[in-house]
Amino acid sequence: MKKIALLITLFMYTELHAQKPTVNAPVPSPAQLQWQQMDFYMFVHFGPNTFTDLEWGKGTEPEDVFNPTNLDCGQWCRIAIAAGAKGIIITAKHHDGFCLWPSKYSTHTVAQSKWRNGKGDVLRELSDSCKKYGLKVGVYLSPWDRNHPKYGTPEYNDVFINMMKEVVSNYGPFFEFWWDGANGEGPNGKKQVYDWHRFEQTIRTIAPNTIVFSDIGPDVRWVGNEKGIAGDPNWNLLDTAGFTRGAGAPSTDTLNHGNLNGKNWIPAECDVSIRPGWFYHKEEDDKVKTPEELFQLYLKSVGRGANLLLNVPPDREGLIDAHDSAALVGFKKLRDESFYKPIADKKFTEASSTYTIDLNQSQKINCVVLKENIATGQKIKSFTVQLVSGNKVVNELHGNTIGKKRILTFPSTKADSIVIKVNEAKATPLLTDVSAYSIDESLIEKE
Ligand code: FUL
């Protein structure tokens, strides 16, 4: 028995020790890999709901309701940059069907409103501003449309496809295209049978490098909650066969964790609002998440290998409110102060089952950041971080997956070296980066 155990241990050791990382399919596409490095970007919910105080507009709101008195997408961009966000995704059309651009395929758009005498175009202004400020721009287009007279008939699928083509050709390229899975009733009381197959074919043809989000991808999946929290484990893999978007999606638990042996590379995105609602409501001005709360969300999203899509809704002027911008600047400051000066930062190029980081002297640390080389697949199933002081393990942390980035926080511990042990992996893994920090004790992860 003992011999067998020894042989298995030896086999596992040689499997994992000091080798080149092997490719373990599925792997990310170059566009997904690039998108995964973005970590954090902003969501903007803006439209008639901003003016009616609703979350789901009925689709019957007069177009004139939409009337931002002082719209400035440059302000959104400046705030996004101050927050360290890499891009902005806007609700170009929410469930009420109102288009923030003058669409040829709807009569419920900015062009029918009195705003700027019907000449206003939010999507134009945002895409131009993002270009100017070096931010990426993305678009949310709700397939559910409570206004469009064709909704509930096969012709509506053509309308939706035409709208996709219209926004891509006039305002693209987009880094991300967001398909909301909601499917309710339209103006004639009918639900639409979405032609997802054609929607997918269309977007792949007209925007092959755009990352497409929906509950089940094809490129990015919903994380299964709107709280901004990814699971541990968080696999970038998902099985989609037999599932559909919306009601037919995998369980929220599956979306939260992914599938260990999933057939498709579909990483998670954590969408969450800085306020209780997705749209701006004045009475929520004092309910904006604090920098500390945002930092906790960062640990639970980006810190678990997902991307964070943080919604910051502009007000009726068309500006981001001072409560939100202050919280965002505070959030950035906490990240900067925490991560700008590592106590140790070591890069690795050889795959191994054990990684040792010498801290040179005894140091107080409470945060370790690990990065797995996901270009060859996500492999690590279970790992241990040992904090060592004078050859004694003084603290030991356990985790499941690592993925593109894993941030672990723990009560401050004095250590002179850190040992990372890969306990279980799907194939020979490579940790590319291990860094250690001493962050403000009040910021360590809370349940
Ligand atoms: C949901 C929508 O119903 C909400 O209004 C919001 O847009 C959120 C991001 O997605 O499905």
The model's pTM is 0.95
287, 364: one domain: no
SS3 content of the chain, % helix, strand, coil (to 5): 30, 25, 40
The reply to whether 106 falls in a domain is yes
Q: Is the CB of 278 under 6 A from ligand 1?
A: yes
Q: Are residues 36 and 110 in the same domain?
A: yes
Q: Considering only CA atoms, which residue is closest to atom 10 of ligand 1?
A: 180
DSSP annotation of 378: -
271 lines ligand 1 (CB under 6 A): yes
Residues 311 and 417 in one domain: no
Residues 242 and 369 in one domain: no
Distance CA 227, CA 269 (A): 11
Mutate to test the pocket of ligand 1, among 42, 178, 226, 310 (most ligand atoms within 8 A of CB): 226
Q: Is residue 161 part of a domain?
A: yes
Give the number of the atom of ligand 1 that is nearest the alpha carbon of residue 180. 11
For residue 232, the enclosing domain spans 30-318
Q: Which atom of ligand 1 lies nearest, measured to the CA of 142? A: 7
> Is residue 260 one of the residues assigned to a domain?
yes
Check whether residue 128 and residue 255 sit in a common domain: yes
135 inside domain: yes
Q: Tell how far the Cα of 180 is from the centroid of ligand 1, in angstroms.
A: 7
Residue with tokens 């206003």: 120
| Residue 276 near residue 284 (C-beta atoms within 8 A) | yes
**Distance in Å, CA 346 to ligand 1 centroid:** 40
Domain count for the chain: 2
Separation of 141 CA from ligand 1 center, angstroms? Answer: 11
Residue 330 falls inside a structural domain: no
Q: Ligand 1: which atom is nearest the Cα of residue 144?
A: 3
Q: Does one domain contain both 372 and 353?
A: yes
**Is there a domain that residue 100 lies in?**
yes
Q: Which residues, in sequence order, are bridge partners of residue 19?
A: 351
In tens digits, the chain (447 residues) has pLDDT values of 454 544 444 444 444 455 677 889 999 999 999 999 999 999 999 999 999 999 999 999 999 999 999 999 999 999 999 999 999 999 999 999 999 999 999 999 999 999 999 999 999 999 999 999 999 999 999 999 999 999 999 999 999 999 999 999 999 999 999 999 889 999 999 999 999 999 999 999 999 999 999 999 999 999 999 999 999 999 999 999 999 999 999 999 999 999 999 999 999 999 999 999 999 999 999 999 999 999 999 999 999 999 999 999 999 999 999 999 999 999 999 999 999 999 999 999 999 999 999 999 999 999 999 999 999 999 999 999 999 999 999 999 999 999 999 999 999 999 999 999 999 999 989 999 999 999 999 999 998
Task: Please tell me whether residues 389 and 313 are part of one structural domain.
Answer: no
